[in-house]
Structure 1
């Protein structure tokens, strides 16, 4: 184990933790608003970097570089197409949430439909966090740290044992940070990590090209552009992990769900001080998603030329990082990966606890004792975070056995829980008389049909296309129920929030610039330019 790498890792990690503690130590975490929403005082930098680092985790670094290595640049669609979805969410969905003053996305569904719908959706959210999202973050973080520091080799441990140890270390550190610092500490560390990643972090492709060119990065770039150019193709074919056609079907729906409904993502925005800060923050996160191509896709492409046959393709990114970068830089990136892992994990823990406390525990406790105190709610929230953390730590190591690469596995399982929720949200936003019965029926119809299509009957169709078909079928089923048994009194939105709802004046211009950059990148990584 390189001592310089380790010392740099500890120094950077310690510095970020210390600054976060200094900046957040005066925050009193004795209310739910303080614990989960930083008292709704977040500016656009905190919102933007909070969104970005809640989204960017080691699962993305490990998984997308693995798919770039084994497939091609078509995997960049997961990040780049989300830009369009994020801009739509900023323009149309977030103003609705902030106007209603909600704390959770199921809360809005409870307002639009009924309390039972809110409870059902909350349970679906928690199931996804427990068996899919939180374990994936812990597992990918363990893979990354083991690859960078060579823990299994240096300490003569089996790979399975090493993953277990690292998963538990990450989980314990993550839950302690969340419990002691709350949302305020998380957003401060996200901001620091964001600045570090988009300054020093973007040098990684340069080091890779320099290694490939034997000291000359231009020579390395020429090798990339002249050999194995098929890996540069962003236009995925039918057999690739991300066929190009899926961008316009299920992937679009997944991204809309993720950025507009996913609790641990939306929670980063619900702490905004006003609508303008919310929209600026989302635009900042869009810029970050575009730059992320250099970190979560390009290293996998360079690795194709450096490593011809890796026994475990999920080790591509950590092998690349430790093999091409100077020790100090490797330690810095290890700290950023560690930070990305536990900030995403903390966001998931916080989102899970928020959902449980506000949508399940608080209504139940108030029926038994109308005078339930904030102190009781905060104490129960922290206990629930410890419980769900422990559960995720037990599940995470078993992702080692996922077929087709764990990242594809995570996306496929996630769709089972998530897109049904977005379907009933879309129906609620676009109609006024579709009743709660339609929402509940739509949820179970979608989940049942998708589960059959992915785990029992092989339709020989990409799961993202299946999602799009089921979205349309479920939406029309809900409309039919709305015609059969419409709400007697149509739903009318009401403003209950107190934030300034004046939109950001420059949002449309910035949106055009961001979308233009996305299109240009697709043209560059296509047979029209690089893939000749």
Structure 2
């Protein structure tokens, strides 16, 4: 364990902690609006930073670099194609949400299909966060820190015990930060992470290429671009982790769900000052996604040239960092990884309590005609965050036993929750008479069929294609039910906008630029150019 690296880590963590505390100490967390939505006061940089760095976490840093190392650059499609989905959400879905004045995405389902549907989806969200999102973030962080600081060697403990200890340390710190600070403190942490993320995104590839070139950056770059060129290919075949065809089927649906329906993501945008601010923030996040491969994928590609064999490929990123970076800078990179873990973990905790209090607990009290103060509800929300935090910390270490790669596991498990929810949301957007029973049957059909294809029957079809097929089938089933048993009174939108909904005038110009850059990245990393 390098003492200089530890000093660097503690130095930068201290700076981040102090700045975050100073900037957020005046934010009010005594109300639900302050705790969950930062009083709907976030500017576009806070919105963009919140979106980007709630999305980029240790699971993506560890998982995507692992897939770049074991497979190729096809894994970058998860992030790069997000740009198209985010721009569609910015143009069509966010104006709709802000007009409704909702606080959670199940609020729309409650308005569209009834309170029962809103509760069901809220429970599905909570299960997803508890068994998948939060544990995977903690597990990814634990792997990263053990790889960076070699705790298992320094403490003379087995790997399993070390992961348990690191998971509980990170979970405790993240839980305290979320409970005490609320959403405003979390978004401020995202901005601080942004500065560190882009610095690391430049520093680590430079150090890696210099190490590869034995002290010469240009020589390292030449080796990087001229050998193992198959790893530079982003156009996946059927044998790759991400076949190119899936970009136009299940991946598009997953990304639309994630950026337009996922509560802990959407909550960042619902807290914006107005529609124009939210659309600017989404554009900022899109630009961040386009340059994120510098940290999420390039280190994994550099590792291909340095590590011929690895017992645990999930440690690609931390091993590369500790090998090629000067100790103090390696400590800085470790601090960025630590904060990346906290941002998503904190946002997930905050959204969990939002869903529970606003969509389950509060309606239950109202049904029983019980009046409860805002202060008591805030206290309940914080207690619920503690319960969720403890559950996630218990589950996280067991991810060590999954097969087929950490990141593939995350995305496959997400299939049980993401596109099924997006499907009933989508049908709620485009239809007026499809009843609640159609949504319930559609949701059950989708989840059951997807579970059978992943756990019982091997159809030899990529799970993203399966999600697209089930999306079409479920929409058809819901339309048939809607035709046979339509709602007596068609759904009508009730406007309740709490912020200005005037759109950003220049958004189409930036949309065109961002989409062009997205396409050029796929061309650059293809057999036409670098992977030739």
Q: The TM-score by the shorter chain falls in which range?
A: over 0.9
Identify the residue that residue 209 of structure 1 maps to in structure 2: 209
Residue 82 of structure 1 pairs with residue 76 of structure 2: no
Identify the residue that residue 367 of structure 1 maps to in structure 2: 367
Please report how far the alpha carbon of residue 38 of structure 1 lies from its aligned counterpart in structure 2 after TM superposition: 0.7
Identify the residue that residue 422 of structure 1 maps to in structure 2: 422
Contact 2:279 2:504 in 1 (8 A): yes
Identify the residue that residue 528 of structure 1 maps to in structure 2: 528
Count of matched residue positions in the alignment of Structure 1 and Structure 2: 532
C-alpha distance in structure 2 between counterparts of 1:232 and 1:101, whole Å: 45
C-alpha distance in structure 2 between counterparts of 1:54 and 1:42, whole Å: 15
Identify the residue that residue 499 of structure 1 maps to in structure 2: 499
C-alpha distance in structure 1 between counterparts of 2:122 and 2:180, whole Å: 25
C-alpha distance in structure 2 between counterparts of 1:220 and 1:17, whole Å: 36
Instruction: Report the more deviating stretch, 49-58 or 193-202.
Output: 193-202
C-alpha distance in structure 1 between counterparts of 2:258 and 2:193, whole Å: 22
Identify the residue that residue 106 of structure 1 maps to in structure 2: 106
Please report how far the alpha carbon of residue 326 of structure 1 lies from its aligned counterpart in structure 2 after TM superposition: 1.1
Identify the residue that residue 223 of structure 2 maps to in structure 1: 223
Please report how far the alpha carbon of residue 369 of structure 1 lies from its aligned counterpart in structure 2 after TM superposition: 4.4
Identify the residue that residue 270 of structure 1 maps to in structure 2: 270
Q: String of CA shifts for 1:54-93, please: whole Å, max 9, x gaps.
A: 1010000100000000000000000000000000001000
Identify the residue that residue 345 of structure 2 maps to in structure 1: 345
C-alpha distance in structure 1 between counterparts of 2:378 and 2:331, whole Å: 36
| Gaps in structure 1 of 5+ consecutive residues | none
TM-score normalized by the length of structure 1 = 0.99
Q: String of CA shifts for 1:469-525, please: whole Å, max 9, x gaps.
A: 000000011010110011112111121122111111111111111111111110111
RMSD: 0.9
User: Alignment partner of 2:503: what SS?
Assistant: coil
C-alpha distance in structure 1 between counterparts of 2:295 and 2:350, whole Å: 27
Please report how far the alpha carbon of residue 249 of structure 1 lies from its aligned counterpart in structure 2 after TM superposition: 0.6
Structure-2 change in CA distance of 1:441 and 1:352 (3 Å): same
Contact 1:201 1:333 in 2 (8 A): no
Contact 2:148 2:319 in 1 (8 A): yes
| Gaps in structure 2 of 5+ consecutive residues | none
C-alpha distance in structure 2 between counterparts of 1:93 and 1:160, whole Å: 43
Identify the residue that residue 295 of structure 1 maps to in structure 2: 295
User: Alignment partner of 2:416: what SS?
Assistant: helix
Please report how far the alpha carbon of residue 184 of structure 1 lies from its aligned counterpart in structure 2 after TM superposition: 1.1
Identify the residue that residue 50 of structure 1 maps to in structure 2: 50
Contact 1:366 1:372 in 2 (8 A): no
User: Alignment partner of 1:198: what SS?
Assistant: helix
Identify the residue that residue 398 of structure 1 maps to in structure 2: 398
Please report how far the alpha carbon of residue 301 of structure 1 lies from its aligned counterpart in structure 2 after TM superposition: 0.6
TM-score normalized by the length of structure 2 = 0.99
Identify the residue that residue 410 of structure 1 maps to in structure 2: 410
Please report how far the alpha carbon of residue 26 of structure 1 lies from its aligned counterpart in structure 2 after TM superposition: 2.0
Contact 1:129 1:348 in 2 (8 A): yes
Mapping of 1:112-511 within 5 angstroms?
112-511=112-511
C-alpha distance in structure 1 between counterparts of 2:512 and 2:330, whole Å: 36
C-alpha distance in structure 1 between counterparts of 2:108 and 2:340, whole Å: 29
Contact 1:48 1:282 in 2 (8 A): yes
Contact 1:138 1:341 in 2 (8 A): yes
Identify the residue that residue 38 of structure 1 maps to in structure 2: 38
User: Alignment partner of 2:81: what SS?
Assistant: helix
C-alpha distance in structure 1 between counterparts of 2:116 and 2:456, whole Å: 29
C-alpha distance in structure 1 between counterparts of 2:29 and 2:515, whole Å: 40
Contact 2:201 2:292 in 1 (8 A): no
User: Alignment partner of 1:235: what SS?
Assistant: coil
